[in-house]
Chains A and B, each alone.
Chain A
């Protein structure tokens, strides 16, 4: 006869509230990173002054913001926004995101060389679903050069969840200067642009 509705505070209520105030409103990652970097001299963990920057647009959410390079390891560059969300780019090809919701946790993605060579290939996206379970989506892809769109390389990929189209623009040195890439079912497309100067 009684419906009891109590908000159980799991381990630590007051302390959590205090920390939330200090950590959530501020770029917590940056602080975490700088405190680590400041004392451990792991230069890779600090967005150096003058670190490369990108513009990131989450197309379906209509938001665009700058991100700074935080670390590079094993050929993957991690860029972080002011609020701590991250993207992982391997030679410009998206292989992960953190903090966008249903993130792309990891990806078996083609190299930039495969894309430039126009080779058909398979790729896998590992998305987080709403129950915190990783779901693998295997796509079969073809690559075309689109002269009409400024020599873009278009990667068209099909899987059980539908067809997606990634587009990459390469500079004269052969690296990706601009792209529009699929992230996940929850996030949609992200446009990445090198922010020069």
Chain B
């Protein structure tokens, strides 16, 4: 039964529930304080009788939106309007308006009106006319014509919080389960009354046991993740080096300005302090009053924290006359911005109340020069440099009608060789230890070139697989212009050449990029061979940060199957690196040519491991969830595109995460 309440802003939750033949897994995200979205994967056993493929279970994916009209007040209940299954097959579709009011601190009452599914039992009429029958066809289309049409029925429920851990629930359901209980008789619906008990096992885990529809026992488990609540209570790890007063700065003798030896010693001391935080010094240039230090942050997940720690190290090593610190972060060999910090501000604000905002206001973020200042001393042993890693991996295949959850487990070897700043050879090779993903019997009924729909063939044939083997060149052709050329086996399914140019100004919320690729489809075994299919693809991309963590990206261009169109992506990003977003691509491929789902769309979640562990690391676990992966609207998956590399050290992103400058 729907309720009028919303989760707290930004919350992600997953609910798994099952009763009788019906199972549901629902992923929900509180997009804004009042707007939430859910993606649901549901299954009904015994739906089909004697199907030709032997699969009697019906699987369905659906998407909901809920908007809260009023928040609960003293007299006003929380009222929410919801649209369920707005874009899938419509099997779950229903609309509702629900009001919830709390009485005291123990009792919550909900009442509402439902249409569609929620108007199918105990209807009191059809105020807005008949509900038109909709042929959902391939799914993936909005059915606005159905909304709030047809029979409407009331529903209600009450929740009694026994104590902080236990609560009891009772409800009157207006969902007749017409298809499941009626037409297909997968279970008996004897009563509209449901009862349940729920237990909050931990802050983020809730379990429920229910008696449903007078015939079934059900259970549910809910896991909640609030991006504002770090599971380990925030960032752990050692504190910073205290700021050294310049009055106490080391004397380097009268001639340090002209003494390269003294300056090299300063570089080495700075490096020895920063090494403890995984920050590498690439070069240093010291004048009587300024220091220009180029760094590479290899461990700290928070960019301002890396800047802050670097500034503290300089305060400990620089002669007193050096009053301005220019810190230039480098990624992929390219300088990203110049963060200008006055030494006096560092001293004045180390213990000042509200130090972070004050420091942010006094820090300048300027474009980074492409060339090193005169007299710069490079660090030894930064180039060339080699590193490698071996780690376990899990690859999953979801939503295959025969086997909805399949997984491969194996080892992934990665290696990277930096010849010089911006010149990088890298590879990623996987070897399966357990092959759980089977070749899909549903694959490749495509009317387009099979650029993605053979995914399960790639998954089964690549063992070992060279996921990537590339040579990349990153450069900075202008003060606010970045470039990338990547050649080789770009991703598991395509190889070729990819070129990109990005224009991003440090103080602006927008950026523009262009990318052109010539790619050829790789052999299924993901070794060195290619298939016949090749194509030129490319996009013009616009990026915009609305503030408050809301972010949009629009890509317009030609996709892998030769289709032309555009992708719109919307993300909510938190300063700790958690991102939750959705994307959709419309191209000139007609819906019936695209096939089931009508167009490409999905949800993506970035989860930094530093948030989960509390320890500094830059590893991010990325999930891309598509109801269906088909061939229209597909893009090459090149590694390390420019925007995500460059943006972290531009003003907009630095400001958003600035709270940890002093951490």
Using a CB–CB distance below 8 Å, which chain A residues touch chain B? 1-17, 19-20, 23-24, 27-29, 31-33, 35-36, 39-45, 70-71, 73-74, 76, 78, 80, 83-86, 88, 90, 95-96, 98-103, 105-108, 124, 126, 128-134, 136, 186-187
Contact = CB atoms under 8 A, between A and B. Distances in A.
Given A3-B397, A7-B391, 20 more contacts: A3-B625, A4-B622, A7-B393, A16-B298, A16-B617, A19-B299, A32-B273, A36-B316, A40-B316, A42-B244, A84-B239, A102-B230, A102-B234, A106-B355, A108-B353, A126-B354, A128-B659, A128-B660, A132-B235, A186-B234
Interface string B82-122: 00000000000000000000000000000000000000000
Contact of A1 (B629, B659, B660): B629
A3 B398 contact: yes
A32 B276 contact: yes
B234 A42 contact: no
Contact of A105 (B237, B347, B356, B617): B356
Contact of A131 (B227, B273, B627): B227
Interface in B290-331: 296-299, 302, 313, 316-317, 331
B236 interface: yes
Contacts of B575: 131-133
A45 B298 contact: no
Contacts of A107: 353
Contacts of B276: 23, 28-29, 31-32
B621 interface: yes
A187 B234 CA distance: 10
A83 B615 CA distance: 13
A78 B619 contact: no
Interface string B363-406: 00000000000000000000001011101011111111000000
Contacts, number: 260
A35 B313 CA distance: 11
A11 B331 contact: yes
Nearest to B353: A108
Contacts of B399: 1
B481 interface: no
A19 B278 contact: yes
Nearest to B230: A130
A54 to B, nearest CB: 15
Contacts of B626: 1-3
Contacts of B627: 1
Contacts of A134: 354, 356-357, 659
A77 to B, nearest CB: 10
**Of B241, B357, B414, B575, which is in contact with the most chain A CB atoms at under 10 Å from its CB?**
B241
Interface in B228-269: 228-230, 232-245, 248-250, 269
A172 B350 CA distance: 31
A78 B353 contact: no
Contact of B230 (A35, A36, A101): A101
Nearest to A184: B234
B351 interface: yes
Contacts of B350: 73-74, 76
12 contacts: A11-B618, A12-B278, A13-B388, A14-B389, A16-B299, A73-B243, A83-B238, A84-B239, A99-B238, A128-B663, A134-B659, A187-B233
B389 A101 contact: no
B389 A9 contact: yes
B620 A10 contact: yes
Instruction: Give the interface size class of chain B.
Output: 35 or more
B623 A3 contact: yes
Contacts of B584: none
A27 B313 contact: no
Contact of B245 (A28, A44, A106): A44
A134 B459 CA distance: 45
A107 B354 CA distance: 7
B208 interface: no
Given A1-B629, A131-B227, A106 B393 contact: no
B628 interface: yes
Contacts of B278: 12, 15-16, 19-20, 23
Contacts of B531: none
A86 B357 CA distance: 21
B340 interface: no
Given A7-B619, A84-B238, A39 B269 contact: yes
A105 B414 contact: no
A29 B227 contact: no
B565 interface: no
Contacts of B352: 106
